[in-house]
Amino acid sequence: MMRKGDKIRVGILFVTCVAVYIGVLARLFWVQVMRQDFFEALATQQYQVGVIGSNPRGGIFDRYGQQLVLNKEVPSAFILPHSALDRDELLNFLHRYYPAVLERVLNHPERYFFWLERRLTSERHEWLKEQKISGIQFANESVRHYAFQELAHVVGFTDIDNHGIAGLELALDKQLAGEASKYRVAKDARAKRYYFDKKIEKEGVAGNAVRITIDHKLQFLLYQDLARAIEHFKAIQGAVIVLDPFTGEILSMVSYPSFDANNTNGIDLSVTKNVAVTECFELGSVMKMFSALAGLEEGVVDYNEEFDCEGKVTNIKGLRVENWKTLGVMPFYEAVKNSSNVAVAKVGLRLGSKLYDHLVRVGFGRKTQLNFPGERAGFINPPNKWSRFSVMVMTFGYEATVTLMQSARALSVIANGGYYVEPYLVQDGRQKPDFANSKPLYSQKSIDEITSILELVGARYPIPGFKLKGKTGTARMVVDGHYSTTKHVYTFAGFVVKDGYRRVVVTCIREPEKAHMWAAEVVGPLAQKVAERLAIHDFNKGVLPHG
C-alpha cells in the first residue's frame, strides 16, 4: 500500500511530466505554426540558392542556312561558403589560389553564392575536382562558339554572362537572348551535390534564330584576298564590301586584320570595330564620279564637252589645283577617266551649292539603316560653312568624310539605274524594292553617261566574260589636325556587270608601309581579284542575273 508521501511524489512527477509535455507541444506549435515562415526561410537560405539560368541564345545563320555561331555547354565553378562542411579549409584554399574571391566573400558575409571560376577548360575543371574542397560546386553554362574568324567583325561576340557587346550579337541582343529562367539550386544533406529543383520559379523564353544576308563561303574567299593584299603592302588595315544594288543585301563585309571572337580576354576593343561602318575617311578621286553625275544631271556639263585640264598644275580662283599627271584639252568623259582634279573643280564651280544637294541625295552624311553598333554618319560640309575653295575641293574628295558602307550605298544608285536602296544585313522577309513603281533619283541619260565613264576606268582591270566599272581614289590621312604626306587611304568603288547581273564592290586599304603610291596599283588589282572571285563564285552557285 502506497504511503501518503509516495503519493505526493508521484503526483508531483505526473504534474511535471504533463507540464513538460504541454511545454513541448506549445514549443512545437510555436515553431511549426506560429514561426513557420521564419524557419522555412532560414532553411531555404541554408539549403537552397536562387539561380537565374539563361536559355541558349538564338543561332546566327548565313543566307544559305550555314550556322555561324554555336552554343555549347562548359563547366563553371561556384562556392557556397555558408554550406561548406569545412569552412576554414575553403577559406584557406581561396587565400592560396583565389584571393580576389576570398576578398569578396569576406566583404559580403550576407551572400550565399559566389562564382569561383567560369568557363573552365577541361584541365582546370579536373584540377578543381581533384582538390575535393567542401563548398566548391560545378554547374554547366551555355556559351557561344564562333566558327568563322573572317566573320568576327560582323557577328561580334558576347561577354561572360552571354550578353552581346559587339557586332550583331550586340545589335540583336534582345532578339537572340530571349528571357532567362529562374530556378532553385538545392543541396543534399552532405553538400556534395547540387541539382535544379523541378519547380521552375519563372519560365524563360528561348532566343530567336537570325538569318543574315552574308554568304559565308564568299566571305572566306574575300577575306583571304584582302589578307594577302594587306600583308603584301604591309598596310594597317583594309575592308571589302559586296552589295546587291537591286535589293540592298550585303553579301560580304570583310575587315582585316581580324580577331578571335572565342578569346577576347584583354583584347583591345578598337580591334573589334567593323571598319566598313565605323571608320570615316575622305574618298579622294572616288568622289569624282558623284561630282560628275551631279554635273551631268544638272546640265552644267556635257559628256563630250571639251575641257582644258591646264597641264600639271594651275590656279583656279586663287586655289592651286594639281592633276596627278600633265593633262591637256580633252572631252569631259576623258577628263574624268583620267581623274583630272582641274576638270571636276571647274564643274564644281558651275554646280555651286547643288553639289552638296547631290552628295546628300545619294546618302552621304547620314547613317544607313543597318543599326550596326558604332556606325558613323560621316560629314558633308554644308554650303553655309564653305570657304571660297570648298566647292572645288569637295569635287575631288575633300571636306567630306564617309564610311565604306555609305560609298557602297551611293554607288548602288548608279549600278541599279538610279534608284535609292538601303543596305541590310538581317533577312527579315522584306520585299525587293519595286523600281517599276518608284521614281529614280537620276535620269537614265545621266546614269548611262556616268556608267560609260566608269567602264573606261574599269577596263584597266579586265575580267573574262564580265565588266568591272568603277573609280579609284587616293586620299591623305589627317594626322594631328594636318594632312599627312606619307599616310594615305586607297579606295576602289565600282560594280561587276554581266547582262542583268550587278554586284557593287567597294574596297579600301589604309596606310601601306610604302608612301606615294596610287590607288590604281594598290586597290585596283584587289578590286579586280575580288570581282573575279565573286563572279566565279556566284555563277558556280547558279545565281541568276537580275532582269
Here the CATH number for the domain that contains residue 149 is 3.90.1310.10
Mean pLDDT, range 452-473, rounded to an integer: 94
Is 50 exceeded by the pLDDT of residue 272? Answer: yes
Looking at residue 189, the DSSP 8-state letter turns out to be T
Lowest mean pLDDT among 194-208, 268-282, 354-368, 434-448: 194-208
Domain end position, chosen among 211, 245, 279: 211
Element (H, E) at 308: strand 306-316
Predicted confidence at residue 26, as pLDDT, reads 64
- Domain of 253, in residue numbers: 216-540
Contacts of 460 (CB under 8 A, 6+ apart): 520, 524
Considering the domain architecture, whether residues 449 and 466 belong to the same structural domain is answered as: yes
* CA 43 to centroid of chain Cα atoms: 47
Is 90 exceeded by the pLDDT of residue 543? Answer: no
Mean pLDDT, range 134-152, rounded to an integer: 88
Model confidence at 314, in pLDDT bands (50, 70, 90)? very high
Whether residue 139 is contained in a domain is answered as yes
Predicted confidence at residue 189, as pLDDT, reads 45
Predicted confidence at residue 463, as pLDDT, reads 93
SS3 204: coil
Selected residue with higher pLDDT from 270 and 473: 473
Q: Given phi > 0 = left and psi -120 to 50 = alpha, else beta, which region is 499?
A: left
Model confidence at 472, in pLDDT bands (50, 70, 90)? very high
The per-residue b/e assignment along 263-294, b for 16 or more CB within 10 angstroms, e otherwise, is: ebeeeeeeebbbbbbbbbbbbbbbbbbbbbbb
Predicted confidence at residue 192, as pLDDT, reads 47
Considering the domain architecture, whether residues 75 and 92 belong to the same structural domain is answered as: yes
Residues 398-427: tens digit of each pLDDT: 999 999 999 999 999 999 999 999 999 999
Considering the domain architecture, whether residues 123 and 186 belong to the same structural domain is answered as: yes
Whether residue 195 is contained in a domain is answered as yes
Whether residue 12 is contained in a domain is answered as no
Any bridge partners for residue 78, and if so which? 115, 137
| Among the listed residues 49, 416, 315, 383, the one whose alpha carbon sits nearest the alpha carbon of residue 197 | 49
Model confidence at 196, in pLDDT bands (50, 70, 90)? very low
Residues 315-374: tens digit of each pLDDT: 999 999 999 999 999 999 999 999 999 999 999 999 999 999 999 999 999 999 999 999
Is 50 exceeded by the pLDDT of residue 42? Answer: no
Considering the domain architecture, whether residues 470 and 528 belong to the same structural domain is answered as: yes
Predicted confidence at residue 545, as pLDDT, reads 58
Is 50 exceeded by the pLDDT of residue 133? Answer: yes
Considering the domain architecture, whether residues 336 and 228 belong to the same structural domain is answered as: yes
Can you give the pTM of this predicted structure? 0.83
Residues 504-540: tens digit of each pLDDT: 999 999 999 988 888 999 999 999 999 999 999 998 8
Predicted confidence at residue 290, as pLDDT, reads 97
CATH for 296: 3.40.710.10
Three-state SS sequence of 435-456: HHHCCCCCCHHHHHHHHHHHHH
- Asked if residue 487 lies in contact with residue 516, where contact means CB atoms within 8 angstroms, the answer is no
Selected residue with higher pLDDT from 37 and 320: 320
Percent of the chain scored above 70 by pLDDT?
85
Domain end position, chosen among 167, 191, 211: 211
Considering the domain architecture, whether residues 341 and 411 belong to the same structural domain is answered as: yes
Is 90 exceeded by the pLDDT of residue 433? Answer: no
Is 80 exceeded by the pLDDT of residue 200? Answer: no
Looking at residue 379, the DSSP 8-state letter turns out to be E
Considering the domain architecture, whether residues 103 and 162 belong to the same structural domain is answered as: yes
Q: Which three cell numbers stand for residue 543?
A: 545565281
Considering the domain architecture, whether residues 108 and 205 belong to the same structural domain is answered as: yes
Predicted confidence at residue 4, as pLDDT, reads 59
Mean pLDDT, range 33-48, rounded to an integer: 52
- Mean residue pLDDT of the chain comes to 87
Q: Which three cell numbers stand for residue 81?
A: 561558403
Considering the domain architecture, whether residues 70 and 153 belong to the same structural domain is answered as: yes
Count how many domains the chain has.
2
CA distances from 152 to 112, 148, 261, 284, 368 (A): 38, 7, 6, 29, 21
Mean pLDDT, range 238-267, rounded to an integer: 94
Compute the distance between CA of residue 254 and CA of residue 537 in angstroms, rounded to an integer: 16
Compute the distance between CA of residue 200 and CA of residue 288 in angstroms, rounded to an integer: 64
Residues 208-219: tens digit of each pLDDT: 999 999 999 999
Predicted confidence at residue 84, as pLDDT, reads 74
Is 80 exceeded by the pLDDT of residue 257? Answer: yes
Whether residue 240 is contained in a domain is answered as yes
Model confidence at 50, in pLDDT bands (50, 70, 90)? low
Element (H, E) at 253: strand 250-256
Any bridge partners for residue 164, and if so which? 158
Considering the domain architecture, whether residues 383 and 244 belong to the same structural domain is answered as: yes
Contacts of 384 (CB under 8 A, 6+ apart): none
Predicted confidence at residue 191, as pLDDT, reads 46
Whether residue 367 is contained in a domain is answered as yes
Considering the domain architecture, whether residues 88 and 120 belong to the same structural domain is answered as: yes
Predicted confidence at residue 121, as pLDDT, reads 85
Domain end position, chosen among 161, 181, 211: 211
- The answer to whether the bond into 257 is cis (omega within 30° of 0) is yes
Considering the domain architecture, whether residues 370 and 442 belong to the same structural domain is answered as: yes
Selected residue with higher pLDDT from 366 and 160: 366
Whether residue 498 is contained in a domain is answered as yes
